[in-house]
A and B are shown apart, each in its own frame.
Chain A
Amino acid sequence: MAGGVGRASLRSGLGRVRGLGSARDGVSHWWMQRLAAVALVPLSVWFVFSVATLRGASQAEVQAWIASPFVTVLLLLVVVATFIHLAMGLQTVIEDYIRDGVVKLASLLAAKWACTLLGLASVLAILRIAI
């Protein structure tokens, strides 16, 4: 049998080994979404309860909290993992529910741009306080 498989297939042996499928990116979107999700399990709990204890804090207190090295790094991780996970999740939802090609493409671009913009703005704000 072609490619050594036990059943007839039109896919070449090389194509099967590469495992990239017709979209040429294999399971990378699915896998990246899960990597970000797993990272967000501890990070999101830490973020919510930390911010909850900051209720009513002054700007100086908030800045001092963000500027402590441990918090700076964790906050940057929260922001990066959140916007990667969000961009990929929104892409999935848009692809599932929007049929029209132009509207779909425009929505995908808007979602990606918004996530990039908001993520960069957050990173800049954190670094500006921390450095």
Chain B
Amino acid sequence: MDARDALMVGTNSDGKPVARPLSPHLQVYRPQITSAMSIFHRITGVALGFGTLLMVWWLMAAAGSAEAFARVQWFLGSWLGVLMLVGWTAALFYHFCNGIRHLWWDAGRGLSIPEVEASGKLALAASAVLTVLAVVVAVIA
């Protein structure tokens, strides 16, 4: 038990112990673009971290034997590999666009609610466009 649990324990008017609620948390809020995009930024960030394994594998195989390179090429060309690459690209461009949004906020700009919602929609649209563009480039290459 830590301090936050201790704060939740109280007694009712009969003296019986009860678990009191903390201040309103995620479960009582209607989903909003602001909170959803915030947590999705972290999720994509962590996912991209695991995705770097693909990049490292590819780089090490390129520096290694012909068999090693053939293996990584085979995997990246399989349906699972393609799915991971497209997912990685989408996650990267989402994190990229929303990251620029964060940098803009860090500069103290665009912090009003209408601006935050507009920039969120813009970041979503831009990341979709960039992802499609990268897939198109890969397909015609």
- Which chain B residues (38-80) contact chain A, with CB distance < 8 Å? 42, 45-46, 48-49, 52-53, 55-56, 59-60, 62-64, 66, 69
| Beta-carbon contact of B52 and A118 below 8 Å | yes
Contacts from A to B (Cβ < 8 Å): 34, 37-38, 40-41, 44-45, 48-49, 52-56, 59, 62-63, 66, 82-83, 86, 89-90, 93, 99, 118, 121-122, 124-126, 128-129
User: For B62, what are the chain A residues with a Cβ–Cβ distance below 8 Å?
Assistant: 59, 62-63, 66, 125, 129
Further contacts, 17 of them, CB under 8 A, given A41-B96, A53-B141, A63-B62: A37-B102, A40-B96, A44-B92, A48-B89, A48-B92, A52-B134, A52-B135, A53-B137, A53-B138, A55-B141, A59-B62, A59-B69, A86-B45, A121-B56, A122-B60, A125-B64, A126-B59
Q: Does residue B99 face the partner (Cβ distance < 8 Å to A)?
A: yes
| Beta-carbon contact of A121 and B60 below 8 Å | yes
Size category of the B interface is 20 to 34
User: For A66, what are the chain B residues with a Cβ–Cβ distance below 8 Å?
Assistant: 59, 62
User: For A118, what are the chain B residues with a Cβ–Cβ distance below 8 Å?
Assistant: 52-53, 56
User: For A44, what are the chain B residues with a Cβ–Cβ distance below 8 Å?
Assistant: 92, 96
B52 to chain A, nearest CB (A): 6
| Beta-carbon contact of A90 and B137 below 8 Å | no
B15 to chain A, nearest CB (A): 30
Contacts from B to A (Cβ < 8 Å): 2, 42, 45-46, 48-49, 52-53, 55-56, 59-60, 62-64, 66, 69, 89, 92-93, 96, 99-100, 102-103, 106, 130, 134-135, 137-139, 141
Our pick among A89, A121, A122, A128 for the contact of B49 (Cβ within 8 Å) is A89
CA A73 to CA B55, docked complex, whole Å: 16
B72 to chain A, nearest CB (A): 10
A81 to chain B, nearest CB (A): 12
User: For B139, what are the chain A residues with a Cβ–Cβ distance below 8 Å?
Assistant: 55
| Beta-carbon contact of B141 and A86 below 8 Å | no
B131 to chain A, nearest CB (A): 9
Residue of A nearest to B53 (CB): A118
User: For A56, what are the chain B residues with a Cβ–Cβ distance below 8 Å?
Assistant: 141
- 16 inter-chain pairs at a CB distance below 8 angstroms, sorted by A residue, are A45-B130, A48-B89, A48-B92, A52-B135, A53-B138, A55-B141, A62-B62, A63-B63, A66-B59, A86-B45, A118-B53, A121-B56, A125-B56, A125-B59, A125-B64, A126-B63
